[in-house]
Amino acid sequence: MNLLSLNDDNFNKSVQSGVSIVDFWAIWCGPCRLMTPVVEDIAKEMTDINVYKLNVDDHPELTAKFNIMSIPTVIIFKDGVEVDQTVGVVSKSVLVKKIKNYI
């Protein structure tokens, strides 16, 4: 599984090449816990993309940079540029369909 945690130091380098998804989450967030298996499944199955998690409590500057107002938020990046996002709990099929638009 290619599921990694992001931080202020590695964020830009991590999303700069190819298709990446970043799950903005927090430990206390119930809906975030519902999204975790979805994101983990995508990380296991879609090995041609990068899948990351970013704890909003630990990284408030990155959270603000991307105007994250609600979590969970999953942002899709293509070559370092934000191209799509989902807010709230979404099904795996919805997220996979969005990702496939950019592969």
Catalytic residues, which ones?
29, 32
* Cβ-based neighbours of 76, under 8 Å, separated by 6 or more: 19, 20, 21, 82, 83, 84, 85, 98, 99, 102
Task: With beta carbons less than 8 A apart as the criterion, state whether 77 and 20 touch.
Answer: yes
Task: With beta carbons less than 8 A apart as the criterion, state whether 21 and 77 touch.
Answer: yes
Copy the structure tokens of residue 61.
Answer: 């500057």
